[in-house]
């Protein structure tokens, strides 16, 4: 079994400050002996407007955020999965989850396919599609020190099709780096994550933003690692005081045991689109 760490922080519009939080989490994770650190969606920054977000994506500080984490990964000999922004066009950004290996090389990148457009009564009004370009493909799962990983991001959690697609390609761990709102987090966060773990018989690792990013936005927190039986094996709370990690051993023998003892043989003759 290999140790994985899930991190929690509160990003704001200061990329320098956010980088310092991420570096603290890298040091904490490496000190535990974890082989992989999972960081939240938008770890580089969370802006207060689309215009500010676009400007930050163009900044030198954003470039330094990634290159510094690459250097940290190589120095600490730890793999890092982190959510960032990248420029897509003159008016839109990419919401990415990238994988940095323990040599400091970016080996995988996933562009979020399901964008968060909501108008919740007495809650947030967010339209991610106004400034973010959706991805058009689901990359294949890939081998890592903790098992075969499939990448997804936040709002993807509400669509079981993406996790089932990753499971069909032998994913053993599915990621959901997130910045969940508080109302939707209270209602659905744990239920959805446990459902994705149970139906795919995979570990689910969800690194979450927590606390107030600005006057208009707060995230739910509750970073978590869930095993393929649906049990929570590591978790954090919702209050943000300092960057935190939680760790759990990833037991691939447990994945194999559950899949062997309860085979989920889907009726593709009845729903071939799945």
Q: What is the pLDDT of residues 88-97, one digit of tens each?
A: 998 899 999 9
Residues with Cβ within 8 Å of 219's Cβ and at least 6 positions away in sequence, in order, are: 10, 178, 179, 180, 181, 182, 185, 208, 209, 210, 211, 213
Eight-class DSSP state of 181 = B
pLDDT value of position 39: 98
Structure confidence by residue, pLDDT tens digits, 73-132:
999 999 999 999 999 998 899 999 999 999 999 999 999 999 988 776 776 677 888 889
Taking CA atoms, 248 is separated from 48, 200, 222, 223, in Å, by: 34, 19, 15, 12
The tokens for 11 are: 């990003």
Instruction: Give CATH for domain 2-261.
Output: 3.60.110.10
Residues annotated as catalytic (active site), given as ranges: 41, 112, 154
Q: How confident is the model at residue 265 (pLDDT cuts 50, 70, 90)?
A: confident
The 10 Å Cβ neighbour count of residue 231 is 12
Cα distance between residue 124 and residue 181, in whole Å: 8
Nearest to 168 by CA among 141, 187, 131: 141
């Amino acid at each position: 079994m290999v140790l994985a760490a899930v991190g929690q922080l509160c990003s704001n519009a200061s990329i320098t400050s956010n980088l310092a939080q991420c570096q603290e989490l890298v040091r904490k994770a490496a000190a535990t002996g974890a082989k992989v650190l999972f960081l939240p969606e938008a770890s580089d920054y969370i802006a207060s407007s689309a215009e500010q977000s676009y400007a930050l994506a163009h900044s030198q500080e954003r470039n330094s955020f990634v290159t510094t984490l690459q250097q940290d990964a190589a120095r600490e000999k730890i793999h890092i999965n982190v959510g960032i922004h990248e420029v897509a066009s003159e008016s839109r950004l990419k919401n990415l989850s990238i994988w940095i290996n323990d040599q400091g090389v970016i080996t995988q990148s996933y562009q979020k396919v399901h964008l968060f457009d909501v108008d919740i009564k007495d809650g947030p009004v967010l339209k991610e599609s106004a400034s973010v370009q959706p991805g058009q493909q689901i990359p294949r799962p890939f081998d890592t020190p903790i098992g075969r990983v499939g990448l997804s991001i936040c709002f993807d959690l509400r669509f079981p099709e993406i996790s089932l697609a990753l499971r069909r390609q032998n994913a053993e761990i599915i990621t959901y780096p997130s910045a969940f709102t508080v109302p939707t987090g209270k209602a659905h966060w744990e239920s959805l994550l446990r459902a994705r773990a149970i139906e795919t018989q995979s570990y689910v690792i969800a690194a979450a933003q927590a606390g107030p990013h600005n006057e208009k936005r707060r995230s739910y927190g509750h970073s978590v690692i869930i095993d393929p039986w649906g049990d929570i094996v590591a978790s954090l709370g919702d209050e943000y005081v300092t960057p935190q990690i939680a760790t759990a051993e990833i037991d691939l023998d447990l994945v194999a045991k559950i899949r062997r003892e309860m085979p989920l043989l889907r009726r593709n003759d009845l729903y071939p689109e799945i």
